[in-house]
């Protein structure tokens, strides 16, 4: 029998992530599992100049801290928009490359399944942008459930 005790939901706090999060809540209820929402914010080198035109490490650090606070607030607001749920969730914000941080976190925290959404890009746009979800599916040792947004589903009964 499959045992799922720890579910990871990587999110970008977008409307597209809501459906995957709701799937994860259902899984958490079914398996009585721990639910973790993970927001990965990109780390970009900030060249912060003070009033005199010099690099300011103090201002840089202040901006990094403020960025982290905004990301944490964004994640909490996202969780609150999901609505009342009797499933508690751990909200985690980390900095780094989204794909790498998702896989790293899943391995370190012994996640049993990753449930995430995808934007459904196709063609040239997909090739140029890459896909975090695709990389996670490809390289994660844990099973990954991809939840597509309703706009990207195909009517299988259609003749098109």
Query: Is 48 within the bounds of a domain?
Result: yes
Top-confidence residue, 110 or 65: 110
Q: Are 114 and 83 in contact (CB under 8 A)?
A: no
Q: In what order do the strands lie in the sheet with 113-118?
A: 89-95, 34-41, 6-11, 113-118, 144-148
Query: Is 159 within the bounds of a domain?
Result: no
Top-confidence residue, 125 or 86: 86
Query: Is 123 within the bounds of a domain?
Result: yes
Structural domain span for residue 126: 6-152
**DSSP output for 84-124:** --SS-EEEEEEES-HHHHHHHHHHHTT-SEEEEEE----HH
Query: Is 158 within the bounds of a domain?
Result: no
Q: How confident is the model at residue 60 (pLDDT cuts 50, 70, 90)?
A: low
| Nearest alpha-carbon partner for 43 in 111, 83, 95 | 95
Query: Is 142 within the bounds of a domain?
Result: yes
Query: Is 92 within the bounds of a domain?
Result: yes
Q: How confident is the model at residue 16 (pLDDT cuts 50, 70, 90)?
A: confident
Q: CATH no. for residue 70?
A: 3.40.50.620
Task: Provide φ and ψ at 157, rounded to 5°.
Answer: -85, -5
What pLDDT shows up at residue 158?
45
Look at 16-20, 67-71, 118-122 and tell me which has the smallest mean pLDDT.
Answer: 118-122
Query: Is 160 within the bounds of a domain?
Result: no
Query: Is 51 within the bounds of a domain?
Result: yes
Taking 3-state DSSP, the helix, strand and coil percentages for the chain, each rounded to the nearest 5, stand at: 45, 20, 35
Give the count of domains, the chain: 1
């Amino acid at each position: 029998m499959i045992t799922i005790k720890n579910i990871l939901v990587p999110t970008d706090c977008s409307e597209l992530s809501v459906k995957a999060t709701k799937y994860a809540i259902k899984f958490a209820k079914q398996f009585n599992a721990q639910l973790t929402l993970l927001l990965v914010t990109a780390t970009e080198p900030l060249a912060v100049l003070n009033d005199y035109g010099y690099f300011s490490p103090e201002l840089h650090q202040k901006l990094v801290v403020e960025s982290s606070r905004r990301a944490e607030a964004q994640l909490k607001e996202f969780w609150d928009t999901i609505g009342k749920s009797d499933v508690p969730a751990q909200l985690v914000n980390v900095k780094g490359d989204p794909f790498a941080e998702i896989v790293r976190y899943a391995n370190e925290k012994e996640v049993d399944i990753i449930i995430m959404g995808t934007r459904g890009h196709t063609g040239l746009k997909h090739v140029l942008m890459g896909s975090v979800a695709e990389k996670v599916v490809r390289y994660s040792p844990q099973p990954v459930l991809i939840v597509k947004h309703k706009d990207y589903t195909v009517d299988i009964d259609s003749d098109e």
